[in-house]
Structure 1
Amino acid sequence: MAPVAVVTGAGSGLGRCLAVSLAADKTSLVLVGRRAHLLLAAREECVAAGAGPEQVLTVPADLAEPGSAARVVAAASEQFGGLDMLVNNAAVATFGALEPTDPDVFTRLFQTNVAGPAALIRHAAPLLRRSRGTVVNVGSIGGLLAVPGRSFYGATKAALHHLTRSLARELAPDIRVNAVLPGAIDTEMYQDLGLDEDATRRLREEMIRTTPLGRMGTPQDVVPWIRMLLGPDASWMTGTLLVVDGGRSC
């Protein structure tokens, strides 16, 4: 029987790339994201990659909203009868200095980047325990580096890292919980940071300048490491924060 994976933030970027990669191995997929049209496009790519049409379920959901996590897990259970892998990839990023930034921004960041993954793990735990499954959270080196103007985002990612390590102990030995911490990945997220075009351009230039390997990463640079943490080769790994950042956090 094919393994079952929930991938959040699956409509674009890293989540979509991961979903297509898993589909090529005939993994059954629950694709979660806020924008239904992007999920449907991702579903088409997954089917083209080798998954059967009945193996790819789309669940439009905003994980910052109460009840969304329970609905996602219920859909996975109803469609596929179980769950083996959960990838908490969905996130929002907003940059800005402490004083002028609306406090509601931090609330939104926390609900999506920390509370949403926590709720999904909580609701998925019975199914994952039954399958001796695994969780991979997508953190960020933003949760390691102290950077002015990015404190809210960094604080939520640092919280996700701590959640990863704490739950790795709490849910062991039945469920493994790890995280991958990407550096600057060239995805659509840079269009949604709340910055104007010039500020976004300067940010990208800064990311490249401060990365020893001299470029931004791509989803394809990160997906193999998520897959490694999901798979049997990582069967003795839990509580790991795996940095994949071109050397930027050195």
Structure 2
Amino acid sequence: MGRAIAEHLLARDATVVAVGRREAALRRLTAAGDHRVEVIATDITRPGAAEHIVAAATARFGTVHGLVNNAGLARFAALDTATDDDFDRLLATNVRAPAALIRAALPHLRQHRGAVVNVSSVGGVLAMPGRSLYGASKAALNSLTRSLARELAPDVRVNAVLPGPVDTPMWDDMGLDTAASAALRSSLLAATPLGRFGQPAEVAGWVCGLLDPEFSGWITGALIPVDGGRTS
């Protein structure tokens, strides 16, 4: 998803700071020598990461106009088999890191009447047996989005997109074996009225639209499903 978002922004002639744990994937964004891109390979949950990212962004491009919290972690398990470590990691990645990045970027966002877009999930609004802790972390991100939209208005807009099942590399990092992953994908496909998984670009377009003040300057606090009808 992050690559698709970056490509959409570059197509709009924006400058981009791309952050992630996989340096090789990030470097593909700069392979063509595009000087509008800065890449930072780091774990956003480590102490001081948010401040480091914002400092690097401002050192390269001078300021920050918009922030996309796209990093996410999925760990699916029933409550009686879920581990405290997995729950801690879900909260650290899906809730605490976005809050820390918004706080670190806030002076710049306020200066430019900028925007924040959180990439959440339909899991934050649907009842999902066997995925309750993941859903709780995304519900917390949804609540953070709506509350900060009021807290930071009128200077900063805060919205979220709620993707349904999308084909991204996150499927390879869910801790599921091949059979469990296939069963999950099959069940999600059956529950999606449009009958297919989404593509990253289909979500990225909404993310970039919510950053654009000309398109969405009067939208804040919105939780927008981009989910093939999953929540209908």
Task: Answer yes or no: is 1:42 the counterpart of 2:24.
Answer: no
Instruction: Find 1:69's aligned residue among 23, 27, 50.
Output: 50
What is the CA-CA distance between 1:194 and the residue it aligns to? 1.1
What is the CA-CA distance between 1:43 and the residue it aligns to? 2.6
The equivalent of 2:95 in structure 1 is 114
Task: Answer yes or no: is 1:30 the counterpart of 2:17.
Answer: yes
Task: Answer yes or no: is 1:233 the counterpart of 2:215.
Answer: yes
- Counterparts of 1:114 and 1:43, CA distance in 2: 29
Task: Answer yes or no: is 1:248 the counterpart of 2:226.
Answer: no
TM-score, scaled relative to structure 1:
0.90
What is the CA-CA distance between 1:238 and the residue it aligns to? 0.3
DSSP-derived class of the 1:169 partner: helix
Task: Answer yes or no: is 1:190 the counterpart of 2:164.
Answer: no
The equivalent of 1:149 in structure 2 is 130
What is the CA-CA distance between 1:76 and the residue it aligns to? 0.7
- Counterparts of 2:141 and 2:199, CA distance in 1: 22
Q: Which sections of structure 2, spanning at least 5 residues, go unmatched?
A: none
The equivalent of 2:68 in structure 1 is 87
The equivalent of 2:35 in structure 1 is 54
1:192-245 CA-partner distances (Å, limit 9, x unpaired): 111110111111111111101111111121111111111121000000000111
The equivalent of 1:137 in structure 2 is 118
Higher relative contact order (CA 8 A, sep 6+): 2
What's the % identity of the aligned pairs?
A: 52
- Counterparts of 1:53 and 1:191, CA distance in 2: 29
- Counterparts of 1:233 and 1:89, CA distance in 2: 20
Task: Answer yes or no: is 1:176 the counterpart of 2:180.
Answer: no
Task: Indicate the RMSD between aligned Cα atoms, in angstroms.
Answer: 1.0
Contact persistence 2:117–2:211 (CA under 8 A): yes
The equivalent of 1:21 in structure 2 is 8
DSSP-derived class of the 2:60 partner: helix
The equivalent of 2:81 in structure 1 is 100
Moved more, 20-29 or 123-132: 20-29
Q: Which sections of structure 1, spanning at least 5 residues, go unmatched?
A: 1-13
- Counterparts of 1:214 and 1:54, CA distance in 2: 39
Structure 1 residue ranges, 4+ long, deviating more than 4 angstroms after superposition = none
Contact persistence 2:94–2:137 (CA under 8 A): yes
Letter of the 1:165 partner, please give it. Answer: R
Letter of the 2:73 partner, please give it. Answer: V
Contact persistence 2:29–2:37 (CA under 8 A): no
DSSP-derived class of the 1:217 partner: coil
